[in-house]
Structure 1
Amino acid sequence: MKLRFLIILTSSLLFVGAGAVNQGSEDGNSKEGSKKVETCAACHGKEGNSLVGLWPSLAGQNAKYLFKQLRLFKSGERENASMAGFLDELSDEDLKDIAAFYASKKNTIGQTEKDKVGLGRKLYYAGNIQKGVPACSACHSPRGLGNGPAAYPLLSGQQPDYVKKALKDYRSGERSNEDPSKIMVAIAYKLDDSEIEALSSFVHGLH
């Protein structure tokens, strides 16, 4: 019964949220975007590859997902003190251009800690049937490239400290406004600290 439930849930995750952002959200101009990211570079790196663990890398990120997150930050629906005020004067066109700029860049791949490979790989590709946790690869792809049309983010090479914090924020409910169906909240709630640590390290080296 659990296996059947997990298969149904995993399949449904491929389609939930695909219409959450306007279809034109990924149609920004990367060249124009390059003129609008000077402030962003201080935290996210000149080419979008962050050098600080708690700040996410944006290089190669799916434009539709990134545009959605930028709009949430601007509206205040997703709260983050570090982002406060930076987007207030930017239009949707500006946000699309910024998203397009980062989407056009190549992400840097890190290295998974050896003691995290086994559990991280198992959770990412097979989930945890006993706990009702679906495989991450169902939505984020086997190589961690995400799903652009569905606005599911790229995870490959992402900073482990950022992923760890994101999963813990989902688990606590602190980060819950971006998805009405609360898919990640439901999944993260079932993950313990060791599983979050393993997944965070695994995706850092995933490619």
Structure 2
Amino acid sequence: MKKLLVATSLCVASISASAVITVPKYDAAAGQKIVEENCAACHGMTGTSVVPTQPNLGGQNVRYIFKQLRDFKTGYRINGIMQGQIATLNEQDLANVAGYYSEQKPWGAFAGNPATAEEAGKLFLGGDKKRGVIGCAGCHDPKGAGNAYAAFPRIGGQHAEYIGLQLKMFRAAGREDDVAKDQKRINDAAKEGEKGMMQVVAARLSDRDIKILSQFVSAVH
């Protein structure tokens, strides 16, 4: 419990260090039309993706989805497919898409890996003080529900493959690995040139940590 409180306090500090995301008033019906044309092939019409490297979006908090779409649009988060799909969309369109997906039924959960669930659960809830790893639950909620106010995503039940990929991209950025820009993710920081919480934490994770955490998170609900 003490570890979770520490992680939560650090999470609160990271919220206060960055501006709260403001989403324009959205039109979910207009968003649905855009989703049909631009998004459904990868993320599903209702936000449940059949591609494990692509995230589920149904029921995700609207601030998070909007921020990610805007970051793709500005190039702060890099993904060639995403940037191509939203190239012609304006900020209102992005808000409409975010609003539509946020109103869909939340996705479910996977089975996870029982063999490593206890070990991963300790890391998820309390982190590892010896290595300076902060528990995920402080920002993402003990049940993986996220924090809608702070635009921290719901991660419980998300595809393990997607979670693992994002952690590795945050780690590459946090460690300043010599890899291509599209293999790094820096948009957890308030602005370019800084290191956000995800980069700092992921930089201290091993490949095994990432694997068991991803499997654990996929089963949290």
Q: TM-score, normalised by structure 1?
A: 0.90
Question: 2:174 aligned with 1:176, yes or no?
Answer: no
Give the Cα separation in 1 of the matches to 2:154 and 2:49: 14
Q: Which string of whole-angstrom CA distances, capped at 9 and with x for unpartnered residues, describes residues 127-179 of structure 1? A: 11111111111111111110011010110111111100100011010111441
Question: 2:215 aligned with 1:196, yes or no?
Answer: no
Give the Cα separation in 2 of the matches to 1:9 and 1:138: 5
Query: Identical aligned pairs, as a percentage?
Result: 36
The one-letter amino acid paired with 2:198 is M
User: Contact between 1:33 and 1:101, CA under 8 Å: does it hold in 2?
Assistant: yes
Give the Cα separation in 2 of the matches to 1:40 and 1:26: 20
Matching residue of 1:32? 30
Matching residue of 1:58? 57
Question: 2:96 aligned with 1:97, yes or no?
Answer: yes
Q: Which structure 1 residue ranges, 4+ long, deviate > 3 Å from structure 2?
A: 6-10, 17-22
Give the Cα separation in 1 of the matches to 2:159 and 2:152: 17
| Correspondence list, 1:64-79, <5 A | 64-79=63-78
Please report how far the alpha carbon of residue 64 of structure 1 lies from its aligned counterpart in structure 2 after TM superposition.
0.2
Tell me, what secondary structure is at the counterpart of 1:114? coil
User: Contact between 2:64 and 2:151, CA under 8 Å: does it hold in 1?
Assistant: yes
Give the Cα separation in 1 of the matches to 2:28 and 2:14: 28
Give the Cα separation in 2 of the matches to 1:60 and 1:43: 16
Question: 2:45 aligned with 1:46, yes or no?
Answer: yes
Q: Which string of whole-angstrom CA distances, capped at 9 and with x for unpartnered residues, describes residues 64-120 of structure 1? A: 011000001011111112213211111211111111111111212222122231122
The one-letter amino acid paired with 1:149 is Y
Matching residue of 2:157? 157
Matching residue of 1:129? 129
User: Contact between 1:9 and 1:134, CA under 8 Å: does it hold in 2?
Assistant: yes
CA pair 98-15 structure 1, distance change in 2 beyond 3 A = farther
Please report how far the alpha carbon of residue 35 of structure 1 lies from its aligned counterpart in structure 2 after TM superposition.
1.5
| Aligned pairs, number | 203
Matching residue of 2:178? none
Matching residue of 1:16? 14
Give the Cα separation in 1 of the matches to 2:25 and 2:147: 16
User: Contact between 1:140 and 1:146, CA under 8 Å: does it hold in 2?
Assistant: yes
Tell me, what secondary structure is at the counterpart of 1:122? helix
**Structure 2 unmatched ranges of 5 or more:** 174-183
Give the Cα separation in 2 of the matches to 1:68 and 1:21: 10
Q: TM-score, normalised by structure 2?
A: 0.85
User: Contact between 2:24 and 2:92, CA under 8 Å: does it hold in 1?
Assistant: no
Matching residue of 2:111? 111
Root-mean-square deviation (Å): 2.0
**Structure 1 unmatched ranges of 5 or more:** none
The one-letter amino acid paired with 1:192 is S
The one-letter amino acid paired with 1:103 is S
Give the Cα separation in 2 of the matches to 1:201 and 1:9: 21
After alignment, is 112-121 or 6-15 more displaced?
Answer: 6-15
